[in-house]
Amino acid sequence: MQQSPIWEWHSQDDSTESTENIDESYVTPTDLVELPTGSFAQFLVAATIELKSGDLLPGIAEATIADDKISIQPTTVFLLDRHLQIPGVETNRLLARYTKSIDNCPVGWRLSIPIEGESEVRGGDIKHGDMKEILEMGLQAMLALKDLRKK
């Protein structure tokens, strides 16, 4: 990701000779210096992931572009020799252990490259990075179902 910060997912429509044996489960590095806008494409993009403790770690965000609509979702944070899913109970446990910070989890992201036509790189919050919030929401849903069964 340091040498090629933008990788492109292949689609089944790719029919050039060089991609003959490649399906949509393959990604390849690109020479792009910014994310293009326009027709449908999906990319893996180098990003920086911010932890609750303030630490910054390298990561990956998945970008989907469709008719100038852009959706970006942080998916991975790198920790030493591991790539960890966002969100994830094991991810948060390992991040807390590594940073020696209780309840450490990913809370923000920033792309390493700009999007075509934009002067600043995009970033945002990671919702539900804290697994306690996810577990609490699940518990609330279970309690609501239990109440419905009583009625």
For 3-28, what is each residue's pLDDT tens digit? Answer: 899 999 886 554 444 545 555 578 89
Q: In this predicted model, which residue has the larger pLDDT, 99 or 127?
A: 99
pLDDT digits (tens, 9 = 90+) for 67-101: 878 999 999 999 988 999 998 888 888 998 899 98
CA distances from 31 to 7, 41, 110 (A): 9, 15, 20
In this prediction, residue 73 carries a pLDDT of 93
Helix (H, G, I), strand (E, B) or coil at 6: strand
Name the residue ranges covered by the structural domains of the chain.
Answer: 6-150
Q: Which pLDDT belongs to residue 17?
A: 45
Alpha carbons within 13 angstroms on the beta-carbon side of residue 120 total 4
Q: What is the pLDDT of residues 25-53, one digit of tens each?
A: 788 999 999 998 888 889 999 999 999 99
Residue 109: its pLDDT value, please? 96
Write down the pTM of the prediction. Answer: 0.76
